[in-house]
Structures are given as structure tokens and as C-alpha cells.
Structure 1
């Protein structure tokens, strides 16, 4: 082998080594997250390491400021007093709400807060018969005589109105016949099957402001 060929092989080998180093560095920086319980994350936060922690959202613990969502999660099968604070720099899905199961992936900072880069929410599907439910037009027709009284109302969700909890009105339902609409306030968890146009059955009460505060939301079934 002549000197020219040797130099070429050394150069090619050097390029291959550099590529391998870059690939290993990339893979090392994107390793799978370590799954931890909330108790483990609280006791041994492993600051700087990528972890995945699952738990239910603590009642009314969430807030959004400058497009950053903060909330706390707890283990429904463990000590409810052991909680982990989560910070998510991203938009929450419409399924996010009180007591929804949140799967949070990210790194825990030195303050013990999980800086979440990936957030997945899950809520079991819930169905309810709408036979005894009022329509939007029927409910609004009763006026102040039904204010603050617990009733059941059903109707489809108006397209483009579905939002995440903590964003104001959660969605608007429509009367299929009259076209009358009614804003709905709900801070709980919604099934990921709930979407624009879904027919839902609500339990709650109508306020003087014309908004319906729901305590339960189920898919019509």
C-alpha cells in the first residue's frame, strides 16, 4: 500500500470516528426516561436526569402564565400529601383538568420542580343516557326559576370552542334544533374522546350570567 492510499484511509477512518462520536452523543442525550413514582421523585429527585412521573392533577393546583402551565400531581394509590410540582412550557390539551392522569416526562431541577418537556393526559371514557336531560333551549327557557338548581342538559359541543381547563369557558354546547348556545364552565378532566361536535350530557347548574357550571361531563351513550 502506497503512502497516498495510507493517508486516504487515515482520513476516512478519522471521519468515521467523528461521525460515531456524534451519533453516540446524540443517542446519549436522548436516552429513555427513568420511570419514577411521585414518592421516589420527592425523595430522590435525581436533578438533571430525564425521568417520567405519572400522577393525578391536584384539585385547582394549575395556573397558566405567559404560556407556561404549572400544576401539582399526586399518587391516587399513595399518600395524597406527597405531591410533585410540574412546570410545562407548552399548551395543555383539552383533556387537562382536575384529577386527570398526567404522564410527565422531563428533568427535575434543583428546586424539586419537574421541568416537563412532554405531557400526556388520560381520562377514562364516561357515557351517560340523555333520556331525562333537557335541551339547551328548554333549560334557557325556564329562566331564573332554575338558576343554581342541579339539572341535566345534553347537546353537541360547538366546533372550535373546546379548550383546556383554566382557560375560561371550557366549551359551548348547542341546541340542535333552535341553534341556541350555552357556555359551559368545567375544571374537571375530559375523556380524550371528547372533541368538537361530540354529544355530551352535563350535570350542573345554570347561573344568572347564562353560563352552565358543570360538575360532571359524560359522552352521550
Structure 2
């Protein structure tokens, strides 16, 4: 082998080694776990006892905000209701966007029977949702309306009121004049990018206790950039 060919081989080998090191570093950054689907992992003994990273949709009603640590179930996004599911026991901080139907990416150790992930890391994926506030009532109007009747209301998110899914009251809204305020209960996922002072449009009903139980929450079209 001549000197030029040998130098070229050394260069190619160096590139391969650098690429391999980068892949290993990326894997280490996620605890050595590569992202898999629920169907890949649920009940699969080959992954039992291993650290896994799994993405799935939070099944509505599968979690209790008072439980510590939090437990919930996930199935593959847009899968049928009879698709495989897996339980998650999560011991970290709960993202404010966590809720029914949100896509959660959890990393943790899979139980020996491959039915439970004991997770210490979770991120959530929730697309931004927008809705027109044209037909929505003001906070003041909803407070005066009959309780227990489905309505649509718009208002501004009260600064510092956004909480995570472990709290009953997820946030509060106020009219633009700042005088009328409503606490909002919601078990779904808050829209991505929702922050203090933003205009939101909410569907649900106001209860006799003055708490608005929301079934859907969206950012107002006015918040589109």
C-alpha cells in the first residue's frame, strides 16, 4: 500500500471512529435508551429489566393527580383502543402540558414482566391549538350565566396561575379589565406555548362552586404570530 492510500485509509477510519463516538454520546445523553413504541416494548421479555425510552399517548382517565408517585398508562399514538398499553410510574416533576391525550416520551427501567416503566424522565409533546374567540362569552358573562350549562369562554391567563396536572386548578383566566376571574379545572394537555397573559378560548361549564370545568383549551387566534 502506497503512502497516499495509507493516509486515505487512516482518514476514513478516523471519520468512522468520530461518527461512532457521536452516536454513543447521544445514546448516553438519553440514558443509553433508544426511543421505541409501546407495541415494541409492552410484554416483550427481551427488554425486561432494561432502561427504555418509549413514546405513547396518555390514556384518558388512567392517572390520578393525587397519586405520588404518579401512575398512568400509554398506548401508541392514534392506535386503536384495543392496542397494547403499558403502565408508567413517574417520579419526576410533572410538565404543565401533561394531561389526557398528550404524547409522553418516558425514559426508565422496564419491569421484569415488561408491563411497567419506572420512569425518572418525561417530556410531553402537545401541538399548539388555536380557536376563534368570536362566539365565546366574556368571563363576566359566564359568571352571570346559569351554572352547569355548556359554554365557550375567552379570557387572559392570570400571571403565575398555570400549574401542572397534579393540581385540580390548572390555571385562571380574567377579563381584559382584570376584575372578573375564573379558576379552570382541566385534565387534558395545555396547548404548547400557553403562557401568562395569553388569550385563550375554553369550552366546558361553570359549576356551582365557581370553578370552570373545561373539556377543551385552545389559544385564541389573536395569539398567532
Q: Give TM-score scaled by structure 2 length.
A: 0.78
| Structure 2 residue aligned with 1:39 | 39
Corresponding residue pairs, total: 193
Matched residue, 1:139: 142
The equivalent of 1:208 in structure 2 is 208
Q: CA deviation at 1:30?
A: 7.0
Instruction: Using the TM superposition, give the Cα deviation of residue 47 of structure 1 relative to its aligned residue in structure 2, in angstroms.
Output: 2.3
Match of 1:32, SS state, is coil
Identify the residue that residue 189 of structure 1 maps to in structure 2.
Answer: 189
- Residue 65 of structure 1 and its aligned partner are, at CA, apart by 5.1
Give me the whole-angstrom Cα distance separating, in 2, the residues matched to 1:197 and 1:33: 38
Higher mean C-alpha deviation, range 95-104 or range 79-88: 79-88
Give me the whole-angstrom Cα distance separating, in 2, the residues matched to 1:37 and 1:147. Answer: 43
Deviation at 1:36, TM superposition (A): 2.0
1:163 corresponds to: 163
Extract unaligned runs of 5+ from structure 1: 1-23
2:198 corresponds in structure 1 to 198
CA distance in 1, matches of 2:125, 2:161: 20
Residue in structure 2 matched with residue 219 of structure 1 by the alignment: 219
The aligned residue for residue 110 of structure 2 is 108
Deviation, 1:166, is 4.0
Cα 1:84/1:151, change in 2 over 3 Å: same
Q: Is 1:85 matched with 2:87?
A: yes
Q: Secondary structure at the match of 1:192?
A: coil
Larger Rg: 1
When the two chains are superposed, the root-mean-square deviation of aligned CA atoms in Å is 2.2
Question: Which residue of structure 1 aligns with residue 130 of structure 2?
Answer: 127
Unaligned runs of 5+ in 2: 1-23
Contact persistence 1:55–1:74 (CA under 8 A): yes
1:75 is matched with which residue? 76
1:57 aligned to 2:58?
yes
Assess if the C-alpha contact under 8 Å between 1:62 and 1:166 holds in 2. Answer: no
Whether contact under 8 Å (1:34, 1:50) holds in the other structure is no
How has the CA–CA distance of structure 1 residues 184 and 28 changed in structure 2, closer, same or farther, with 3 Å as cutoff?
closer
Query: Secondary structure of the equivalent of 1:39?
Result: helix
8 Å CA contact 1:137, 1:178 repeated in 2: no
**Secondary structure of 1:48's match?**
coil
Does the CA contact (< 8 Å) of 1:123 and 1:190 recur in 2?
yes
Distance 1:193 1:28 in 2: 29
The change in CA–CA distance for 1:214 and 1:42 in structure 2 (over 3 A counts) is same
Task: Say which is worse superposed, 64-73 or 204-213, in terms of deviation.
Answer: 64-73
Query: 1:180 deviation in Å?
Result: 1.5
